[in-house]
Amino acid sequence: MMLRVGYPKGLAPDLLGLFPAGVELVEVPSKPESPIAVDLWIPAPAPVLGQRTWPWMRGVKTVVTLMAGTEWLMPLVGPEVTVCNAAGAHNISTAEWTVTAVLGVLKYLPLYRDLQVAGNWKGRSEASRQYAAIHRDERLQFPPVLQEELHGKRVLLVGHGEIGKTIEGLLTAFGVELTRVARTARTEPVVVHAVSELDALLPEAEIVILILPHTPESDKLIGAKQLGLMRQGALLVNAARGAIVDTDALVEALNAGRIRAAVDVTDPEPLPEGHPLWKCPNLLLTPHVAGSTPEFSPRSVKIAAEQVGRLLRGEKLVNVVKAGV
């Protein structure tokens, strides 16, 4: 019997050619109107669409996502279904967003963009005022401070999976002092501190980058206590999941002028109109776009197609997050 593979409607037709022969490809609409029977399901790369589609799916034994995160999927499909993620699909795009966000804040690009829109550079001295305020540094600066340097900054990288390692590779060129944190400590091939040491490491960091999975253990890992431990003017970068940071505590810290932040993810998400985070100072905010590049779909679909090939050949799947029982 031919393996039936359900794929999300909207996938570019040329990408379907990546799948091996010997499968029946079944297009799954975003709003199904009748049950759809498949053996392997590839959900749309948006949790809300997957959650809407799942009640119509029948016979699914394996789910292969197009994303690295699967926390939304695990409780949805239950224990019987094997779940595989698309580890590697987001490495480059997310790492590039992270470094770009860091540089954007340090180079005061939001301010200069505002001045460009206004059509007047007279307000550029605001950069010096922002620098003095966030760092509590009232010393005379001549010439005025118009940007900051990344070189030599002490960076705390919280999460050292594949994306974290890619971020580290990009940051190396900037001559930063990097400290790594992961769930468990290790010394090979590089020194990585355990997350239990996080509170002790935060006060020394000038930049804190979050790129770890959202789990019960990491939920609100960065709360009021941790934000309070960060040094004055430190930059918090969240390229992971919004719920890893306590949003109320972040709003308070930003409004108090204690820290800066650049976040691609929020809790709640999408961020509702009128939410106080929108108007916080010292914040660079993007709408969960770090993984969204033209290269994402070909890369992630190729990973899914390779998984289908393994099933056809009777080989073990890779990137298994949860094996079905």
Quick check: is 177 in a domain? yes
Q: How far apart are CA 169 and CA 167, in angstroms?
A: 5
**pLDDT for 68:** 85
Residues 124, 162: one domain? no
Residues 203, 313: one domain? no
User: Reading across the β-sheet that carries 177-182, which strands appear in turn?
Assistant: 193-194, 177-182, 154-158, 207-210, 235-238, 260-263, 283-285
Residues 85, 140: one domain? no
In 3-state terms, what secondary structure has residue 210?
strand
pTM score, two decimals? 0.92
Residues 158, 29: one domain? no
For residue 77, the domain's CATH number is 3.40.50.720
Quick check: is 11 in a domain? yes
Residues 156, 228: one domain? yes
**pLDDT for 143:** 87
Select from 233, 219, 214 the least CA-distant residue to 321: 214
Quick check: is 257 in a domain? yes
Residues 234, 98: one domain? yes
Is 295 an annotated catalytic residue?
no
Q: How far apart are CA 223 and CA 226, in angstroms?
A: 5
**pLDDT for 72:** 87
Quick check: is 53 in a domain? yes
Select from 54, 53, 59 the least CA-distant residue to 37: 59
Residues 255, 196: one domain? yes
Q: Which of 183, 231, 275, 288 is catalytic?
A: 288
Q: Which residues pair with 64 in a beta bridge?
A: 84
Residues 100, 245: one domain? yes
Spatial CB neighbours of 126, under 8 Å, sequence gap ≥ 6: 111
Quick check: is 43 in a domain? yes
Quick check: is 59 in a domain? yes
In 3-state terms, what secondary structure has residue 232?
coil
**pLDDT for 1:** 66
Q: How many CB atoms lie within 10 A of CB 239?
A: 27
Give the total number of structural domains in the chain: 3
Q: How many CB atoms lie within 10 A of CB 204?
A: 14
Is 113 an annotated catalytic residue?
no
Low-confidence ranges of the chain (pLDDT < 50): none
Spatial CB neighbours of 197, under 8 Å, sequence gap ≥ 6: 181, 185
**pLDDT for 69:** 83
Residues 12, 45: one domain? yes
Residues 313, 233: one domain? no
Q: Which of 269, 275, 306, 310 is catalytic?
A: 269
Quick check: is 31 in a domain? yes
3-state secondary structure 160-183: CCHHHHHHHHHHHCCCCEEEEEEC
Residues 153, 253: one domain? yes
Quick check: is 113 in a domain? no
Residues 248, 163: one domain? yes
Q: Which of 241, 258, 260, 299 is catalytic?
A: 241
Is 177 an annotated catalytic residue?
no
In 3-state terms, what secondary structure has residue 26?
strand
Domain that holds residue 137: 120-147
